[in-house]
Amino acid sequence: MNDKEARLRRLPSVDSLLGQTPIQELIDSHSRELVIDSIRQTIDSARQAIVDSRPVETDLRALLSRVEQHLRESTRPSLRPVINATGVIIHTNLGRAVLSVAAREAMLAAASSYNNLEFDLGTGKRGSRLSHAGQLLRALTGAEDAVVVNNNASALVLILSALAQDREVVISRGQLVEIGGGFRIPDIMRESGAHLVEVGTTNRTRTADFAAALSERAAMLLRVHASNFKQVGFVEQPPLSELAALARERGLLAVDDLGSGTLLDTASFGLEREPTIQESVAAGVDLVCFSGDKLLGGPQAGIIVGRSGAIEALKRHPLARALRVDKLTYAALIATLQHYRRGEALKCIPVWQMISRPLDDIRARASFWAEAVGGVIIEGESTVGGGSLPGATLPTALLAVDCDAPDLITARLRQAETPVIARIADGRVLLDPRTVLPAQDEALLQALQDAI
């Protein structure tokens, strides 16, 4: 018998491992079926390693440890909290906006009890979930009414399906944008049943171009804000107020798709100026739609505000039910909007906390990290991200870790108990304190120590 055959024979059976005390403890905290599956997977993996002449530990302690590790990994949820050290504040791949404490508590309260989602406490009769955020949105934006759906793409689909199906929607060629995941405005319009009419050129469109394109089949003038790209140089787009006036004159609707809508003036934080939701409403358009989980800093949602007649038509459309949001989204959204109503957005909403964080505070935190794990402090830039303020950056201080294999270090950081997502530049691992939550320092430093 050769050595390989001898090692294969020495591998324990499933039953023999089941009799071990550590395994019995695992069965007590998990199901027997899960533990047996982990034992089989561990033995099969060890057997294959021996056959392939790869190094593998087959003593009892090592096998028991690997069973426990396999069980832990196989039962770990695929959706996990991570530490965002990239410096991208609204990171689409990492879940976009982090919710405020009040928003999280509101979601927990809504999930932990029955609630009046569709019940009128005054009359004791059935109510409508579509009414819950309306009062706050009216007060904050100046609009007559509002409706909430599950994201901004679905908001646009609902608007086009309900108000422009089989009719023409006029849009500037320079605004035929592609949003995340490869979804394009022309494709969305086609699926809604609306007919696209392009006017102007890629870089220049005027109000006269819209007027010249109007026919008897026209239903709507659409402005799509370039929230995820920027045109510079010889460019022109008509003022929103002019489009709204033209629409009123011709008996049509004017709609503004803001994408990443903001209630605050971004220029006050050293960023480029993003058009606010209030300004779009004041310009006289019939409907404005925007995201809930970008610059608003709330949960994923598509929010539509505007004239009461147009909003009522959206609420009555069959798609409104298919695209409606649940009690958890309403709870988080209302709590987020209340921060703005109380004038406490900068203090309470994480997106705005990060945007407004003083550079001295960021530098002090980076220095604390460097003292704990090594590395040097360098100047750098954070970005807003999430299809918001393209090209706009904020000055920051970065912890830079020099290493021979930065890809290996970032891979190890991603495998930490709480994964850390960093970035690499000039052969160094960079971590930006701006986007790391205050309570995450200990986990981040432990992951760094383990990785380097």
pLDDT of residue 235: 67
Helix axis angle, 406-414 relative to 441-451, nearest 10°? 130
pTM score: 0.88
Is residue 263 over pLDDT 90?
yes
Residue range 12-50, pLDDT digits in tens: 888 888 888 888 888 888 889 998 999 899 999 989 988
| Mean pLDDT, rounded, for 215-228 | 86
Residues 219 and 421: their CA atoms lie apart, in Å, by 46
Measured between alpha carbons, how far is 174 from 204 in angstroms, rounded to an integer? 7
Residues composing the chain: 452
Residue pair 400/430 in contact by the 8 Å Cβ criterion? yes
**What mean pLDDT value characterizes the chain?**
91
Average pLDDT for 290-307: 97
pLDDT at 416: 94
Compute CA distances 331 → 149, 152, 179, 337, whole Å.
14, 18, 27, 10
pLDDT above 70 as % of the chain: 96
Is residue 425 pLDDT above 70, yes or no?
A: yes
The residue ranking higher by pLDDT, 260 or 343, is 343
Angle among Cα 125, 128, 130 to the nearest 5 degrees reads 165
What are the tokens at 373?
Answer: 């794990």
Q: Report the C-alpha gap between 255 and 408 in whole angstroms.
A: 49
Q: Which residue has the higher pLDDT, 448 or 178?
A: 448
Q: What is the pLDDT of residue 377?
A: 96
Q: Cβ contacts of residue 31 below 8 Å, gap of 6+?
A: none
CA distance 71 to 85: 29
Contact between 424 and 407 (Cβ < 8 Å) = yes
AA letter at 99: L
> CA–CA separation, 215 vs 203, rounded Å?
24
Q: Which of 154-163, 199-208, 415-424 has the lowest mean pLDDT?
A: 199-208
pLDDT of amino acid 387: 67
pLDDT value at residue 12: 86
pLDDT band for 230, please (50, 70, 90 cuts). Answer: low
Identity at 203, one-letter amino acid code: N
Burial 275-308 (b: 16+ CB within 10 A, else e): bbbbbbbebbbbbbbbbbbbbbbbbbbbbbbbbe
Residue 228: pLDDT band with limits 50, 70, 90: low
According to DSSP H, which parts of 289-358 are helical? 308-316, 318-322, 327-341, 345-348, 350-356
Q: Is 257's pLDDT higher than 80? A: yes
* Mean pLDDT calculated for residue range 227-249: 78
With a cut of 80, say whether residue 386 has pLDDT above it: no
Q: How far apart are the first and last CA of the chain?
A: 44
Q: Can you tell me the mean pLDDT for 168-196? A: 78
Q: Over the stretch 86-131, which tens digit does the pLDDT of each residue have? A: 999 999 999 999 999 999 999 999 999 999 999 999 999 998 898 8
pLDDT at 234: 62
